[in-house]
Amino acid sequence: MSDWKPYVPPTESPAEFTAKAIGLGIAFGLLFGASTVYLGLRAGLTVSASIPIAVLAISVLKRFGGSTILENNIVQTIGSAGESVAGGVVFTIPALIFLMPYGPDYFTYVRITMLTLAGGILGVLMMVPLRRALIVKEHGTLPYPEGTACAEVLVAGERGGRLAALVFGGLGVGVLWKSLSWIFNLFRTEVGYVMPRTSQFPNATMAVDISPEYLGVGYVIGPRIAGTMVAGGVLAWLGLLPLLTILGQFITEPFPPIHPNFALNPATGRPFLISEMDPGQLWSAYIRYIGAGAVLAAGIITLVRTIPTIVSSARGSLRDITGATGVGGTTRTERDIPMPFVLGGCVLLALFLVVAPGLPTQGNVFAALLILVFGFFFATVSSRITGIIGSSSNPISGMTIATLILTCLLFVALGWTGDIYSPIALSVGAIVCIAAANAGTTSQDLKTGYIVGATPLYQQIGLIIGVVTSGLIIGVTTLYMHQVFGIGSQDVPAPQATLMSTIITGLLNQDLPWGLVLVGIFITVTLELCGVHALSFAVGLYLPIATTAPIFVGGLVRAWVDRGPGTVESDAGAGTLFSSGLIAGGSIAGILFAILVGTGAIAPLAAIGAAFPVFAQDSVVGQIASATLFGALAVIVARMAMRKVQ
């Protein structure tokens, strides 16, 4: 739009890329990067952190002598890179643990960090030639909801103190709640009930993980997506599990496929029968494959639905690459990283992936080429989709699944089958996933900058700084969570990474249990034929209901707040900001819990809870008491959401 006037005119050059803005942005990137690692490993979900970072930037910089709107924008730009890169990492790289014959020994800090930096930097570089096509030329077409809302927060900077109080309040409540339940053991961390195997409704499971971060996620994503997700959980844990248990009573032989962790019943010395399995074992052996098929189909359908958008975006991007002037732009707000640096950086990254010792892609030029091709393709798709539905709803897992399927099929066609090629295929998917996730967030940041009048060159450099600095802590956090709890355990199930490993090993070893996978595929097809966009449902089918149920509670709170006509809350509303603080606070306390467990300090602290057994005990009283506390937390969120921030 040639007549667009940014908040800061191109003719003005206020302070922007300053040391204090860069330093604070790095600090927020480390904080939200680490909290996103925890949330992604626990729930398989992430939410955008740009708006709370922008609010906190305004408040913090005011205490250091004030700041310009462009400095505040640099802080949120650098800080948001940590959250987006962390999401891509925990969705994919932990799958290395499950890929044999390498397993945990292959899951090292150096490999995690190298893959993280390669994907994150690639995502930034590939958005440079797309900026003019998607951010500038389609300014009136693509709203980029988080980017626009973030710009509104920055423009309304004089309200920063009150807005920041909401984020800090949520963060404090999240830390306090999680500390009292996890660290001090004052009340239960989960409430629920499993129907006995001898009942008429055997193994039916209803559970709620009463964590503040899940409640916050549900509020942020809203009732529609939260309701669709829990619907998938209801089908799996209250429908398929009881049905499988009922039918299993008549099956007297082990019914494949049996998950290798449950291959032998220690009581009998033979493989488990369905009638001998508890809900967790049934989910691991059967339901997760149905969920994987559902997510697989939903991801592919989502991409097919966006083919017209993909084609038009790719055409426009290729046209604009030849016309991009880079740093030679005529005004400050038109300056980008020069195209020679962009193209040279992409080539150097590809060479790095081929020659870097220890990387699965070492010596494999074909894999590096796949990364460049798929990376640019899905960076374009990610940017366009986030421009419409926002970063938090960006179907990154669907894009990653599509990348893995295409990569594995090409490997099979070349005769590259078996376990030895699994880490290579995963590396392709992981780097593309991280690049696509960061490209979507980069687009939101560049949209914010376009509205407030930022310098794109400084934002792009800031994003690379954010990727590099946060990438260092992301590897530490991920590896530490694995060392303390074991990725794939109940505490950190890493559902997305588990799904990726299932797809890779099944395709390359050609032993995927297609019967169960096809059941999931046709569940998705059925929903799509009914007019339901099935990606959220499929993710809910794959996740434990203990995760999706509290998210649904958060969605119900959002529905209550938005119940009146014309009262729908914006992305920068009081409830969203408070819930963002809950997410960060709960995640930070979870990381603190991991540190205390790793150092052996948790046992003395948890003993304090022994003096208050009512809420923590495994009884009806304990269940009701803890559920009542969670209801009180939901009320607090609702009350905070109805506060006026104008």
**484 and 533 in a common domain:** no
14 assigned to some structural domain: no
198 assigned to some structural domain: yes
257 cis-preceded (ω within 30 degrees of 0): yes
**514 and 443 in a common domain:** no
165 assigned to some structural domain: no
**516 and 473 in a common domain:** no
d(C-alpha 382, C-alpha 122), whole Å: 13
pLDDT at 190 over 90: no
- Token output for 418: 């078996």
pLDDT at 477 over 60: yes
d(C-alpha 367, C-alpha 429), whole Å: 10
52 cis-preceded (ω within 30 degrees of 0): no
224 assigned to some structural domain: yes
CB proximity list for 346: less than 8 A, separation 6 or greater = 122, 125, 126, 372
**501 and 513 in a common domain:** no
404 assigned to some structural domain: yes
Q: Which of the two residues, 561 and 165, has the higher pLDDT score?
A: 561
d(C-alpha 629, C-alpha 200), whole Å: 31
Task: Tell me the per-residue pLDDT of 621-646, one tens digit each, with 9 for 90 and over.
Answer: 888 888 999 999 999 999 998 876 55
**382 and 486 in a common domain:** yes
**442 and 332 in a common domain:** yes
Indicate the residue among 505, 537, 558 that finishes a domain.
505
**472 and 385 in a common domain:** yes
Q: Output the DSSP codes for 323-384.
A: H--GGG-SSGGG----HHHHHHHHHHHHHHHHH-TT-TTTT-HHHHHHHHHHHHHHHHHHHH
Amino acid type, 320: D
Q: What is the 3-state secondary structure (H, E, C) of 93-122?
A: HHHHHHCCCCHHHHCCHHHHHHHHHHHHHH
Q: Which percentage of the chain shows pLDDT scores above 90?
A: 29
**112 and 126 in a common domain:** yes
Residues in the chain: 646
Number of domains in the chain: 2
Q: What's the pLDDT band for 208 if we cut at 50, 70, 90?
A: very high
Amino acid type, 608: I
Q: What is the pLDDT of residue 630?
A: 93
**514 and 501 in a common domain:** no
pLDDT at 237 over 90: yes
* CB-count burial class (<10 Å; 0-12, 13-18, 19+) for 166: buried
Q: What's the pLDDT band for 261 if we cut at 50, 70, 90?
A: very low
Q: What's the pLDDT band for 327 if we cut at 50, 70, 90?
A: very low
Q: What angle do CA 471, 442, 77 make, to 5 degrees?
A: 70
**596 and 449 in a common domain:** no
Indicate the residue among 481, 505, 529 that finishes a domain.
505
Q: What is the pLDDT of residue 493?
A: 86
**196 and 104 in a common domain:** no
Q: What is the pLDDT of residue 325?
A: 45
Q: What is the pLDDT of residue 523?
A: 96
Phi, psi angles (nearest 5°) of residue 324:
-70, 130
574 assigned to some structural domain: yes
Of the candidates 208, 206, 212, the one whose C-alpha atom is nearest the C-alpha of residue 180 is: 212
Q: What angle do CA 633, 634, 635 make, to 5 degrees?
A: 90
d(C-alpha 110, C-alpha 92), whole Å: 16
**381 and 479 in a common domain:** yes
CB of 411 within 8 A of CB of 508? yes
CB of 591 within 8 A of CB of 35? yes
103 assigned to some structural domain: yes
Span 272-293, mean pLDDT? Answer: 84
Q: What is the pLDDT of residue 459?
A: 96
Structural domain for 253, as ranges: 171-288+509-641
203 assigned to some structural domain: yes
Span 112-138, mean pLDDT? Answer: 88
Q: What angle do CA 458, 464, 468 make, to 5 degrees?
A: 145
Indicate the residue among 505, 535, 559 that finishes a domain.
505
Q: Which residues of 301-333 are buried (b: 16+ CB within 10 A; e: fewer)?
A: bbbeebeeebeebbebbeebbeebebeebeebb
